[in-house]
Amino acid sequence: MSSIFARVLPGVRTRLKNLMPRTLYGRAALILVMPIVTIQLVVSIVFIQRHYEDVTVQMTGNVLRELTWVVEQVDAQGNISGAERFLQAVSVPLEFETGFQPGYREAADQSVFYDLTAPIVIASLREGLPQIGGVDLRSNKNQVQFALPTRHGMLNVRFPRSRVSARNPHQLLVLMMFTSLLMTVVAYIFLRNQMRPIKKLAEASEAFGKGQWKEYTPRGATEVRAAGGAFLAMRSRIERQIEQRTMMLSGVSHDLRTPITRLKLSLSMMEDEEEAGAMQDDIADMERLIDSFLNFARGDAADEIAECDPVEIVRDSVEKARRNGADVKMTLPDYVPLTSLRPQAIARALDNLIGNGLRYGSKVRVALLMHDRSFVFRVEDNGPGIAPEDRAEAVKPFVRLEPSRNQNKSSAGTGLGLAIAFDIARTHGGSLRLGESPALGGLKVDLIVAR
């Protein structure tokens, strides 16, 4: 038995998990609604079924004893005139309206569908008086009508409905449902007000993850305020660290340019042009390294978010590479809506990816893909690619892979091209994915940014 439960319970748990709302608001609403529905069902079953059924059976039994006595006395009368005089005498105290009906025809029981106690009344009357005719609870909702056979003919009987059942029991259900609905609406409004600060915090966090700055003030319950305050403190620390890193590397780069400039001036005055040319190449490499370090440190801090056309960004980067004689082709969609991006940062990332592709290959293909919630800037080349086990390391700063990426070329990189693109993708709420190009056989890089 335990093994059966061990196999069944995980599947049941998975199904229940799939049925649960995904959002905190939906789950809180479910927690609110479920007790109300449960209380409604319990009260309806216990109170209506137990209380009203028992009361109806008891009240109908009292009426049945009176009806049985009336029928016995009517049958005891010698003629119909005596029976009518007897009925006139007892009708008022018993609250019965009676009369003999000639030419009686059997009729079916009648009641409305929302009359909860009607089936109980009819069943109780038929149990006590099996010979009773069709019970009519539809023609007049406030009365019970039927016919009883006697020795003098069929006797029509009519009496108030209040004698056999509590008046309008469905009104209790209506009142319960209305009150529950009203309380649910009030609770919904209150719940929405409590969830609004959490939603604001989530929006501010998401915007910060995309490199955007959104005004946020902690509000709501104490726990939500504490979480909001922690988020603001974290955001301030991260911004301060980024600013300090940028200032430090900018200062280092500036300080290094002065001696490099002096070295270039000294080399230009040397007589040995061959030796001076080699040293000038080294100095050019140093300048390129410094520029790469500065670009990585700066990231997209100086780039403002703006509504821009991703197609134009791709087209500009490709045209820039083509002007240098590179074999770069692009595939663009027919229509792309304007979106909020840091255009200079995205262009810098594309330039790095295209440059990497041309450094290790001879052909580069650039494509722009649009999805419901993201853009994908895809760059493919026909170079040696990157092995799957090395792709996680390839996006780290200052990592240069050997020998597949051919670091020994004179145009070797600094190990920051993919790292810069990865950092820019993360500041736009996206990621950088490396794979193998199915068309060119080299590296495929997907720069994913959120829309």
Note whether 300 and 345 are within 8 A (CB): yes
pLDDT tier at 282 (50, 70, 90 boundaries)?
A: confident
Task: Tell me the C-alpha distance between 160 and 96, whole Å.
Answer: 8
* Average of per-residue pLDDT across 94-118: 82
**pLDDT band, very low/low/confident/very high, at 303 (cuts 50, 70, 90):** low
Query: What is the Cα Rg of the chain in Å?
Result: 44
* pLDDT cut 90: percent of the chain above it: 12
pLDDT at 378: 93
pLDDT tops 80 at residue 20: no
The bridge status of strand 153-160 relative to strand 143-150 is antiparallel
Same CATH fold, 301-450 and 23-168? no
Q: Where is pLDDT greater, at 210 or 340?
A: 340
Q: What is the pLDDT of residues 24-82, one digit of tens each?
A: 777 777 777 777 778 777 777 776 666 778 888 889 999 999 999 999 999 898 888 88
Asked if residue 413 has pLDDT above 60, the reply is no
For residue 368, pLDDT over 90 is answered with: yes
Say if residue 264's pLDDT is above 80: no
Residue 365 clears pLDDT 90, i.e. is over it: yes
> pLDDT-based confidence at 16, cuts 50/70/90?
low
For residue 407, pLDDT beyond 50: no
* Confidence at residue 381, expressed as pLDDT on a 0 to 100 scale: 92
List, for residues 182-197, the tens digit of each pLDDT value: 887 887 788 788 888 8
Can you tell me the distance from the alpha carbon of 257 to that of 286, in angstroms, rounded to the nearest whole number?
Answer: 9
Report in angstroms the alpha-carbon separations of 118 from 134, 143, 348, 411.
Answer: 13, 11, 80, 94
Q: Where are the domains of the chain?
A: 23-168, 206-298, 301-450
Q: What is the average pLDDT across 275-297?
A: 70
Q: Give me the CATH topology for the region 301-450.
A: Heat Shock Protein 90 (3.30.565)
> What is the overall mean pLDDT for the chain?
80
Q: What mean pLDDT do residues 129-136 have?
A: 88
Over residues 297-315, mean pLDDT: 75
DSSP character string of 135-195: -B-SS-TTEEEEEEEETTEEEEEEEEGGGTS-S-THHHHHHHHHHHHHHHHHHHHHHHHHH
**CB under 8 Å to 104, separation ≥6 — which residues?**
133, 147, 153, 154
CA angle 12, 14, 17 (to 5 degrees): 110
DSSP code, position 431: E
pLDDT in tens, 311-361: 999 999 999 888 888 888 999 988 888 888 888 888 888 988 998 888 888
Residues in the chain: 451
pLDDT at 406: 47
**What's the mean pLDDT in 16-28?**
70
More confident residue, 92 or 413: 92
pTM, to two decimals: 0.51
Round to whole Å and give the CA distance between 29 and 51. 32
**pLDDT of res. 410:** 41
Check whether 153 has a pLDDT greater than 90. no
pLDDT mean over 229-250 = 80
pLDDT at 13 > cutoff 70: no
- Look at residue 439 in the predicted model and tell me its pLDDT: 85
Topology, domain 206-298 = Helix Hairpins (1.10.287)
More confident position, 376 or 338: 376
Q: Which is nearest to 432 in space by CA: 441, 440, 422?
A: 422
Domain over 23-168 is classified CATH 3.30.450: yes
Q: What integer pLDDT is reported at residue 408 of this predicted model?
A: 41
Question: Which residues touch 161 (CB under 8 Å, ≥6 apart)?
Answer: 137, 141, 142, 143, 144, 167
What residues does 145 pair with on adjacent strands?
136, 158
Whether 403 has a pLDDT exceeding 70, the answer reads no
